[in-house]
Structure 1
């Protein structure tokens, strides 16, 4: 198994999200790998959990990465959250990201879950993506 490219994949995804103009117009720089201390903005994006499965073969190491990106907002209704979630999908699906280690073979949308939290005042959409990464350093 190769988990070695996981940090490189996360860095590339974070870089794509923070450099995307459409996402920036909707959320500014409120895109977090780790939530900051103190009050949070009314709307933000958070990189979340990841599940990785081995997909190594005779040609080298590789893995399927299933990861979650969350859109969280205090805005009424789901429209703003869904608009931001769509921009995230547009920025990531089938993106040709360059990794510091390994090679991204594919990046695909897997599923989404929209829900209310905090007594209905907070809207949250958890977007799940799947990425196939080959790690040429592992044979």
Structure 2
């Protein structure tokens, strides 16, 4: 197993989210892999936690990466968050991303969880699973 493709995968996911015109119409350029300091935008997208497990086959290193992309909003109701979550799902499910190292074998939507947090904040965490090979 190698965790070496985690950075290239995150970079490609981030770039793909930034290139989505539908997502841009919903959250502007408020897509982060690290939250900015100071006040946060009313609605934003954040790349979050990740778990990686070995998927090497003896000749090539590889891994399964499960990672979370979150939509967070102060907007009343879940509609805005669900629209953004839908755009993220459409953008990343079965995306054909080019990595700076290795290759993406495939990426799939796994699950989503919508929650209310304190202060009237709505949050949707989308989990994706990606298979990468380092060849």
TM-score normalised to structure 2 length: 0.98
- 1:99 is displaced (CA, Å) by 0.1
Q: How many pairs were matched up?
A: 135
Match of 1:76 in 2: 76
> 1:35 maps to which residue?
35
Q: Which string of whole-angstrom CA distances, capped at 9 and with x for unpartnered residues, describes residues 43-99 of structure 1?
A: 000000000000001231000000000000001111110010000000001110000
In the alignment, which residue of structure 2 is the partner of 1:108? 108
Deviation at 1:124, TM superposition (A): 0.1
Other structure's SS at 1:75 match: coil
Task: Give the distance between the partners of 1:59 and 1:97, measured in 2 at CA.
Answer: 23
Per the alignment, residue 4 of structure 1 pairs with: 4
The 4+ residue runs of structure 1 with deviation greater than 4 A are none
Using the alignment, how far apart are the partners of 2:39 and 2:107 within structure 1?
A: 32
1:118 is displaced (CA, Å) by 1.1
Alignment partners' CA distance in 1, 2:84 and 2:14: 15
CA offset at residue 2 of structure 1?
1.1
TM-score of the two chains, using structure 1 as the length reference: 0.95
| Other structure's SS at 2:12 match | helix
Kindly indicate whether residue 127 of structure 2 is the aligned counterpart of residue 135 of structure 1. no
Unpaired segments ≥5 residues, structure 2: none
CA distance in 1, matches of 2:109, 2:74: 25
